[in-house]
Amino acid sequence: MESLQREIADDAVFDDDFGFDPAALSSASPAAQQQLTETPTGSDTESIADTPLVAGVDQAFFDDQAISAVVVLQGGEVVERTHAITDLSIPYIPGLLAFREGGPIVAALETLDCDPDLLCVDGSGRIHYRQAGLATHIGVVFDTPSIGVAKNLLCGSPQESVDDRPTGWRTPIEADDAVDCADGMIIGYAYQSRQYESSNRHINPLYVSPGHRVAVDTTVDLVAALCDGYKLPEPTRLADSYADDLKAELS
DNA sequence: GCGACAG
DNA sequence: ATCTTGTCGC
């Protein structure tokens, strides 16, 4: 399994190679973007068509079954939702998450009518022992640009302490000896998508990393653009609650 | 051998 | 991931 991950890492592209404008990703609705970009003569179909499709993927679990939910957003609006329920055979093992959850996610993505410009995956991408986390695995399988958004750090080390940082703050994650690449290589970022202003409690940062065909710096910018007042990017957040709803119906 | 460890 | 009430703050 580890050798397969090395092959996936070899196939992965950790540079920008996607066909949309990152600036067109804002959480503003297509209609709002349209108004902003509308010309006096007004051909108003272009801005919608040019707005990238971002698919959020998340899962819930129940009785050794995975409920994989996918929500596709275009400029902040849901354009498609789909899901798949799959039996789980492999247990969770740090570093091998893609073998447990990859199949179920692929099953859900295959039922999609549209084809997304970007996949937003819950879990690490390049922040992984062999640089082939779940987001990378999925991205390479579909050869679609992808990014990984994790709530915890698997490996690597933040350049600065991540404790109690303000909204918008970020710091690079450097490869350490646990990562299969040059020491000090920037493999991701800790990104504080949200923080309480004046409170006793505080929010932990997200750990974002390239999946496939996205550079590390672009990855943080994309996540920043996809967040809309909540800790998680909108596509992920909506996929998360959709998975919870499906699970509730199933229980 | 010991510690670390996405979801 | 999952099991779960109250509680603090805008």
Is the CB of A63 within 7 Å of strand C? no
Known binding residues of A: 58, 122
Query: In the sheet where A206-212 sits, what is the strand order?
Result: A77-87, A65-74, A53-62, A118-122, A146-150, A206-212, A186-191, A170-174, A157-158
Nucleotide in closest CA–C1' contact with A196: C9
- Which residue blocks in chain A are alpha helix, DSSP H? 2-11, 30-37, 46-50, 97-110, 134-142, 216-226, 234-250
Measured to protein CB atoms, the chain C nucleotides within 7 Å are 1-2, 8-10
Measured to protein CB atoms, the chain B nucleotides within 7 Å are 5-7
Residues with CB under 7 A from strand B: A 58-59, 92, 94-98, 101, 122-124, 128, 133-135, 148, 150-155
Give A224-235 pLDDT, tens digit per residue.
Answer: 999 999 999 999
Q: What is the pLDDT of residue A40?
A: 46
DSSP state of A60: E
Q: Is the pLDDT of residue A42 over 50?
A: no
Contact A240, A120 (CB under 8 A): no
Q: Which residues contact A44 (CB under 8 A, 6 or more apart)?
A: A34, A38
Give A201-224 pLDDT, tens digit per residue.
Answer: 889 999 999 999 999 999 999 999
Give A47-98 pLDDT, tens digit per residue.
Answer: 567 899 999 999 999 999 999 999 999 998 999 999 999 999 999 999 999 9
Known binding residues of A for Mg(2+): 58, 122
- Distance of A150 CA from C3 C1′ (whole Å): 22
Is the CB of A199 within 7 Å of strand C? yes
Q: What percent of chain A has pLDDT over 90?
A: 82
**Which window residues (73-112, chain A) lie with Cβ within 7 Å of strand C?**
none
Which structure tokens are listed for A157?
């080390």
- Distance of A249 CA from C7 C1′ (whole Å): 29
Which domains can be identified in chain A, with CATH numbers? 2-250 (3.30.2170.10)
- Distance of A92 CA from B5 C1′ (whole Å): 11
How far apart are alpha carbons A171 and A128 in whole angstroms? 17
**Average pLDDT of A176-184?**
94
How far apart are alpha carbons A153 and A146 in whole angstroms? 18
DSSP state of A201: -
**Residue A249, phi-psi category: left (phi > 0), alpha (psi -120 to 50), beta (remainder):** alpha
b (16+ CB within 10 A) / e for A47-56: beeebbbbbb
